[in-house]
Structure 1
Amino acid sequence: MAIEQLRAAIERRPVIDHARGVLMAAHRLTSEDAWKILVSVSQHSNIKLRTVAVDIVANAPGGDVHGSFPRLIESALEELKAE
């Protein structure tokens, strides 16, 4: 079972890293802050982090870096600024 979990994690990683890059470029964030945004959106929407990342990446070419989660991303950015 551990090998299957490792394989799944490896497959998810590229899209999550890509989404972090999109957020970093769009909002001038560090890698760590982009990670915090992804985690926050995932937790507040109760949607898996990979699914959030796929949505952000899928919408990035059209210029909508928020994808399906504009309010949650804006809220997470505001929380991050308040830290």
Structure 2
Amino acid sequence: MHRTTMLPGDWWDLTAENSVEDPPGQDVVALRAEIDQLRRALAGRMVIDQACGMVMVLAPCSRGPARNLLVDISRQCNTKLPEVAAAVVAAWEGEPLSRLMQRALRHALRRLYAEDRACDSSPADETSGRGRS
């Protein structure tokens, strides 16, 4: 069973309180930097998950191969994974992919389908095929 949790819009509006006499210390600065880093990581993760879901629907595969496909595109284009995922999501909404990403996507899909075909053929199929020739 899957459960979806909706967070209120002001969930990330966290504030650190300190007294007027005590200027922001190193701890508060470090915590604010960590919060910003976690916000960016979570936003990147959400777009990666969305792009993985889109790949799973379009190239019928499970989550692992879908993520591997996005990672493959990321490596070929020398682009960070969240940026590739954002481009895929934008393409779904009508924004064209760059030529480099289009080429990388075609290459990654060919590899995915080749791996899928290799998994579908069993050793028994290969031996029975040789006997008929």
Query: Scaled by the length of structure 1, what TM-score is found?
Result: 0.80
* Cross-structure match for 1:20: 52
Counterpart pick for 2:110 among 68, 78, 81: 78
Give, as a single letter, the amino acid of the residue that structure 2 aligns with 1:71.
R
1:31 paired residue number: 63
Q: Secondary structure in 2 aligned to 1:62?
A: coil
Task: Please give the root-mean-square deviation of Cα atoms over the aligned residues, in Å.
Answer: 2.2
Cα distance in 2 for partners of 1:34, 1:25 equals 9
Q: Which protein has the larger Cα radius of gyration, Structure 1 or Structure 2? A: 2
> Cα deviations across residues 23-76 of structure 1 (Å, max 9, x unaligned)?
111111211111001000001100111110001001103396xx3322111111
Q: Structure 1: state its 5+ residue gaps.
A: none
Alignment counterpart, residue 57 of structure 1, candidates 59, 80, 89: 89
- Deviating above 4 A after TM superposition, structure 1's stretches of 4 or more consecutive aligned residues are none
Matches within 5 A, 1:39-54: 39-54=71-86
Counterpart code for 1:54:
A
Aligned residues: 81
Q: Unaligned regions of 5+ residues in structure 2, if any? A: 1-29, 116-133
- Distance in 1 (CA, whole Å) between partners of 2:59 and 2:92 is 13
- The alignment-based identity, stated in percent, is 38
Looking at secondary structure, tell me which structure has more helix per residue.
1
